[in-house]
């Protein structure tokens, strides 16, 4: 992977982390579907999740609510980024193994 790509990854993930740092100050108003569900009185139909890992974007066991929210955002960023990069890597690897690359410069 060329140097340019490393820059994109670092800057892109950096922006995502900065956005996550703002998450504790996100609007606390009910949003689209929730507002409609309240107004039209079907909010009560919602069922609780069968298990909880990081519910409400609040990292469990962290006293400070803002820190807990930011921490949950960072955890999420790491997981989804790993899935995205992992998938792309896997696709590249299988393509190379199958010899089906139309991108001779790959790698």
Partner 1 sequence: MLYIPIPAREIPDVPGLHIPDGFVSLPVSLIGWAITIAVIALAVKKTNTEMGEKAAPLMGVLAAFIFAGQMINFPVAGGTSGHLLGGTLAAILVGPWAAVIVMTAVVGVQALIFQDGGLVVLGTNILNMGILTAFLGYGIFRAVTGVIAGPTGRLAGSFSGAWLTVMAAATLTSVQLALSGTSALDVALPAMLGVHALIGVGEGLITAAAIALVVAARPDLIERSDGSRTMSPEVSA
Residues 1-40 that bind partner 1 (CB under 8 A): 1, 4-5, 8-9, 11-13, 15-17, 19-20, 22-37, 39-40
Q: How far apart are the two ends of the chain, measured CA to CA in Å?
A: 6
Look at residue 64 and give its three-state secondary structure. Answer: coil
The two three-digit tokens of residue 104, written as one number: 């001779």
For the bound state, the minimum distance from the C-beta of residue 60 to partner 1, rounded and expressed in Å, comes to 11
Number of chain residues interacting with partner 1 (CB under 8 A): 73
Exactly one of 60, 64, 67, 103 binds partner 1 (CB under 8 A); that residue is: 103
Whichever of 27 and 63 has its CB closer to partner 1, that residue is: 27
| CA 99 to the chain's CA centroid | 32
Scan residues 49-78 and list those touching partner 1 (CB under 8 A).
Answer: 49-58, 65-66, 69, 72-73, 75-77
Whole-angstrom distance, CA of residue 20 vs CA of residue 47: 28
Closest CA to 13 of 78, 69, 67, 88: 78
The answer to whether 97 contacts partner 1 (rule: CB under 8 A) is no
């Amino acid at each position: 992977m060329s140097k340019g790509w490393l820059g994109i990854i670092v800057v892109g993930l950096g922006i995502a982390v900065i956005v996550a740092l703002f998450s504790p100050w996100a609007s606390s108003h009910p949003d689209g579907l929730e507002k409609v569900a309240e107004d039209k009185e079907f909010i009560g139909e919602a069922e609780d999740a069968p298990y909880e890992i990081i519910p409400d974007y609040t990292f469990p066991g962290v006293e400070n609510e803002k820190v807990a929210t930011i921490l949950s955002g960072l955890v999420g960023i790491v997981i989804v980024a790993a899935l995205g990069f992992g998938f792309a890597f896997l696709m590249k690897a299988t393509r190379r193994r199958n010899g089906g690359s139309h991108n001779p410069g790959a790698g």
